[in-house]
Every structure is written in C-alpha cells, then in structure tokens.
Amino acid sequence: MIPRYITDVDLSQLPRVRTDVVVIGVGIAGLYTALQASEFAQVMLIGKKGLDDSNTRWAQGGIAAVTAQTDSPALHLKDTLVAGAGLCSYEAVDVLVHEGPERLKELIEYGTNFDKDEQGQYELTKEGAHSQRRILHAHGDATGAEIVRALSERTRQTDQITVLENHFVIDVVTRQGECVGVLVMGPDGELFFVESTATVLATGGAGQLYRYTTNPDIATADGIAMAYRAGADIKDMEFIQFHPTVLHFPGAPRFLITEAVRGEGAILRNIDGERFMEKYHPQKELAPRDIVARAIISEMERTNSAYVYLDITHESEELIKHRFPTVYGFCLQYGLDMVTDWIPVSPACHYIMGGVQTDLHGETATKRLFACGEVSCTGVHGANRLASNSLSEAVVFGHRIVQRIKELPPLEAVRPLAFVRERKMTAIQTREQRIRLQKLMLRYVGLKRNEAGLKKAMAEMEKMLALFDCQSREKEAYELLNLLTVATLATRASLLRTESRGGHYRSDFPDKDDVNWRKHIIQSIDGGVREEVELSNVE
Ligand code: SIN
C-alpha cells in the first residue's frame, strides 16, 4: 500500500515560509517556468542538487521547432502524431507546434546560443521520424548544457526567484483536494513547510527505474510519485522510451550517443558488420525510436551479442568533430575514435512518455498543482515521443502554466495541519533495493514484456514495498519509495495493455489493437484504474 504522506510530521510544529509560486526541479521546465513566473510573482525554485544538475544538462540532440521556410507546423504536427502511434492528443500537439517557435525566441532572449552557419542562419539537424531538418542545437551536441547555462545564469540574476539547492521535496501538501505547498527537507535533514499559491512539479523523469539509463542519478520519479500520493491522475505509464544508441563499452558509463549522429548519416551494423535496419523499416536508421531500439535488440539476440555498432566513419573528420564534439571527446577517453572506429551501442532507458496528467495549461487533477516537462503527461508524446520534442514541450507548457497561475486567487492562510501517520518509512539497504528494482524493471518491464514476467515483477515489487517499515529519515529511502511507487504504476499499466504500441511491446500480444486499445490507462490513488478513449483519433 502506498501511504498518502511518506513521513509523519506535524506541520504545525515546523518552520513555515510563504511564496507565490514554488517550482520543484531545475531542468529546462523548472528554470523557464520560474523565470516566466518571476515577472509577476515571488518564486521559490527548489533543486535536489545544484542548478546545473538536471536531466536537461545532458540533452544532446536539440530542440525541435519550426523555423525553416521549407518546414511548417502542419508537418511537425504530422511527424509527432505518427511517432505517437495513435495516442497523442491532437490539441496538445497543435499547441506545441504552433507555440514552439515563439518560446524558442524567448530562450534565445534569455541568452541561449544555438549554433549558426557561416551565413548566420540557425543550423538545423534531423533525428528519427522527423520529415524535415528542424532541430536547433548548441555547441554541436551540448544543447541541454547551453540551455541550462543561459537559464540558470538568468535565474541567479533574478531577485524575485529564491533558489534552494540541495533541498529535497518529500511531498506536496494538500487540503481538501487543493495543493497548498510542499514539505521540504534541507541539506542537514531539517524539515520545513513552504506554503504557496501554486506548485509546479518540474522534477523530470524516471530513468533510474532501470539498470541501464541515459538519465542521471537524480531521475527518481519523485514528481510522479508525489502527485500520485496527492490524488492526481497518472496516465500512460506503460510507455517508456529506450534510446537505441547508448555507449556499451567495458569500463565506460552508459553514455548517450545522440540520434543526430544517425541524422547526419551514421548507420547501424550488427556484430557481423552487416547493416540491418532496412529489414525492419523503410526509414532505416531514422525510423521511430521504439522500432530502432527493438530492431537492435532483435539483432543482438540473433547474433548472440550484447551490442551492435554505430558507424559514421564514412563521414568527414571535420563534420564529426564539428557536430559531435561532446560524443567524440567522450568516446575518445575510452580509446574509441568515431572518425575511424565503429562505436559499440545498445538501447537504454531514456524517457517516460507517461506521467502526471495535465490539461492544456499544465494543471493536474489536484487544484493549484501543475506539472511541466517529463514529469507531466500533456498528451504531446502519445505512445512514443518524437525526438527533441521534449525541450519544446517544457517551454510551451511552462508558458501556459504561468498564464493560468496568473489567474489563480491567492491561497487563504493554511491552518496548521497534522499529517496522519499511516506507516513509518525507511529503506533497509536502500542501495541494494534500488539495484534489485532496476534489474527487475530491465528484465520484465523493459523493451519486450509478457504477462508472466510482468506478474512476477509486480509480485516482487509488492514484497519490496512491504519492507518499508523502519525508522530513519533519508533522501535515498524516499527516492526508493518514489521509484517503487512509479514502478508499480508502470508494471500495472503494462499488464493491462494487451497489445503492442510505441514504447510498450508485449511479446504475447505483438500487434497494435486499435479496436480495443486506442485508449489511455489512468491511475489514481483514490480512483484506482480507469481507461479513457483517445478521442483525437488521428495518427
Ligand atoms: C538524442 O540526442 O538522441 C536525444 C534527443 C531526445 O531524446 O530528444
């Protein structure tokens, strides 16, 4: 059983601070939303680590938005819907493709330097399932780092934003179905209550659910778990994207090799040196991500190998070093020279399409609680996210959230309220439990799933949840409980969806079933599980 609150404190005994808007998370969604909100409100921005520590920081490929004369919102919309495999919300995608270009201009105004060519035009690259070159990038393949640099510099200069680094939000606090703030743990374990008119979850994704992931350590699904405990609706949790090309080399961490490498011409070869993607999809290496990832797994199984190769050796040294300085430099540390060597790669968990369900203004089912970026499920990604749409989604919906927050009446002062203690929570051997969970997820809730495996995983997770019964107050224990909570949501939805679509593949139901499954699975702590037909019905 998942408790409403994961710690047992009496708020009336805690120090309390008040702000207009509290934003949790310091990736693009958190930084941008905080900056926009600071134009009319006092903002508190809370990060688990420093301002530079977010998933955004590691984004390589870029940000997708229509800027070229030859491109159009209609084409961007079509590509997004096709990748989303019938489960995108047409309205949400329409918002994304039409508002993305304006928001991109704001990122530039905030100081982000995207790469330009010699004529001063933005360089545009392509990634899987994009019909056009429409992805802007920075420093070749360091787009996220550049965005974080620009936005965090601006944030630090903004008096209306108070930044709390190395602070962990334990839970969002609700009163009669309305969010009234957050319970925060400081770097020395001290607790306090931040009371706020609006609360924005921008906590990123859940990559740490898996043993192999492109996400940093902080991606522990905190926002999804907190929102679930607070009564919000959690949607589409079975759709998890594995990035096809992640470095797989002895001694090296699983480092993302951006899809833009394939966009610039790289091909995939199996262990025998054969190019194989033409067997799987007409778009070959630039097919939608789920298809490329599963094709790689099939080739790995067929040839009994733990990896395949990414080969860009036919392109010029100049192009490789200019476009991919980060990837080039990283591989070189391990003796792999992209100019001359094929790079060993395999898929790893990258992005979760599901999350906290929001409306078109980022508002969740819990009043005054908003979700932005990977933690949210706005309907933009459907069953499979189009590459580089996530950075644009964060700014488009961050902007809309702030417009909605402007209209909110101020919160009445919150009476001191006591949490009901449902159960004491701490992890025994937290680290071991986290690895055990990550292995379970990889084995049974990974790229290929089936009923027997999913049931086994669910039973194991329930046993692990029952272990939360001892007494210390530690961030790692809270993170583990958040991961376990979200793992059960993903596993339950995967068991229910008896078909294959996008980032959810069932070997016992390998086909897409539009008759029965053009639907979303929505879970909530109070309402259990329900299904909702996707009415947009467009692909
Ligand atoms: C990549 O650079 O391949 C990742 C981009 C994305 O996931 O959108």
Residue with CA nearest ligand 1 atom 8: 388
**What pLDDT sits at residue 422?**
52
For residue 397, how many C-alpha atoms fall within 13 Å in the half-sphere facing its CB?
36
Residue 289 annotated to the active site: yes
Distance 255 CA to ligand 1 centre (A): 12
How many CB atoms are closer than 10 A to CB 432? 10
Question: Helix 143-156 to helix 90-109 angle, to the nearest 10 degrees?
Answer: 60
Catalytically annotated residue among 134, 149, 289, 492: 289
The CATH architecture one would assign to domain 424-533 is Up-down Bundle (1.20)
- How far lies 252's CA from each of 262, 282, 330, 507, in Å? 21, 33, 9, 31
Q: Give the mutation target among 350, 374, 381 for probing the ligand 1 site: most ligand atoms within 8 A of CB.
A: 350
**In this predicted model, what pLDDT tens digit does every residue of 162-205 receive, in sequence order?**
999 999 999 999 998 899 999 999 999 999 999 999 999 999 99
Q: Which residue has the tokens 């522990």?
A: 220
Q: Structure tokens of 267?
A: 């091909």
User: Which among 480, 487, 482, 481 has a CA at the least distance from the CA of 446?
Assistant: 487
Verify whether ligand 1 is closer than 6 Å to residue 33 (CB atom).
no
**What pLDDT sits at residue 134?**
97
Verify whether ligand 1 is closer than 6 Å to residue 374 (CB atom).
no
What is the distance between the alpha carbons of residues 334 and 329, in angstroms, rounded to a whole number? 9
Instruction: List alpha helices for 133-174, DSSP H.
Output: 143-156
The answer to whether 292 and 304 have CB atoms below 8 angstroms apart is no
What is the distance between the alpha carbons of residues 392 and 206, in angstroms, rounded to a whole number? 19
Residues 6 or more apart whose Cβ sits within 8 Å of residue 450? 506, 507, 508
How many CB atoms are closer than 10 A to CB 340? 9
All structural domains of the chain with their residue ranges: 243-349, 424-533
Residues in the chain, pLDDT under 50? 470
Verify whether ligand 1 is closer than 6 Å to residue 86 (CB atom).
no
**What pLDDT sits at residue 145?**
96
**What pLDDT sits at residue 470?**
46
**What pLDDT sits at residue 184?**
96
**DSSP annotation of 305:** -
User: Which among 148, 263, 249, 200 has a CA at the least distance from the CA of 43?
Assistant: 200
What is the distance between the alpha carbons of residues 47 and 281, in angstroms, rounded to a whole number? 41
**What pLDDT sits at residue 423?**
54
Domain 243-349 falls in which CATH fold? Flavocytochrome C3; Chain A, domain 1 (3.90.700)
Verify whether ligand 1 is closer than 6 Å to residue 390 (CB atom).
yes
The answer to whether 67 and 392 have CB atoms below 8 angstroms apart is no
What is the DSSP track for 231-269?
A: T--EE-TT-EEEEEEEE--TTS---B--THHHHTT-EEE
**What pLDDT sits at residue 418?**
62
The answer to whether 342 and 269 have CB atoms below 8 angstroms apart is yes
Distance 457 CA to ligand 1 centre (A): 29
**3-state per-residue secondary structure call for 263-302:** HCCCEEECCCCCECHHHCCCCHHHCCHHHHHHHHHHHHHH
What is the distance between the alpha carbons of residues 52 and 80, in angstroms, rounded to a whole number? 29
